[in-house]
Amino acid sequence: MTSSRPPSVIRRFIDRVFMHLSRNICIDGLWVGVFADENDTEALCKLEKALHLIKAYDMYRYRRILKEIDRIWSHPLPVKTACFVESLRRCLIDNKYVLTSTPEIIASTLVHEATHGRLIRHNIGYSEEIRSRVERVCIRQERAFALKIPQNGDLLQRIERKLAIAPDYWTDHAALERHREGMIAMAEDVGLPNWLGRALLNFRERMGRVKS
């Protein structure tokens, strides 16, 4: 998944503050950080293991990650997985996804997002018309990586299920619905009433339309 909308000045300022507060390490020049109330050490350790796994078994794709991504930042995301932010050359990955996934799955996700970066750098966008094909390219890169690591059976099965996803899963409408559901779930996680979570989401969407 990728995002091309440039962040506002306010969003950039908030990002800098949160990144400053994030527990982080540097791996081969790559900034890796986690912003979380708890379990940040565990999440950071799993990201480090994922990167070391790629480096150990697939140096070609490891170099791609170092080339295409400036920062890997784990924090709560409504999509519950990961995305590549084109304007910042940044991979965002959800905290819960990191904590509940194996290093192999996390590594596969990082390979996927770095592939988005490479495609964008070669002027291959992410419009709705080609989105399904772009995602399949990224998923096939996941599979190429998975074939290089030991004990890859579960990961390969997971990747094959992703390759079987219908094209309409990647439409704008479907993506918006997943985002809405994710935002409501995040609001519930922090204890907001359902009606307030929906109200905040609607306000955010209205503000987004005004700015666009």
Query: Can you list the domains of the chain with their CATH numbers?
Result: 2-168 (3.40.30), 171-212 (no CATH)
Of 102, 110, 114, which is closest to residue 152 (Cα–Cα)? Answer: 102
pLDDT at 7 (0 to 100) = 60
Count the Cβ atoms, other than its own, within 10 Å of residue 114.
25
Give me the pLDDT at residue 187, please. 60
Which tens digits make up the pLDDT trace of 17-66? 888 889 999 999 999 999 987 889 999 999 999 999 999 999 999 999 99
Q: Which residues of the chain have pLDDT under 70?
A: 1-8, 11, 184, 186-212
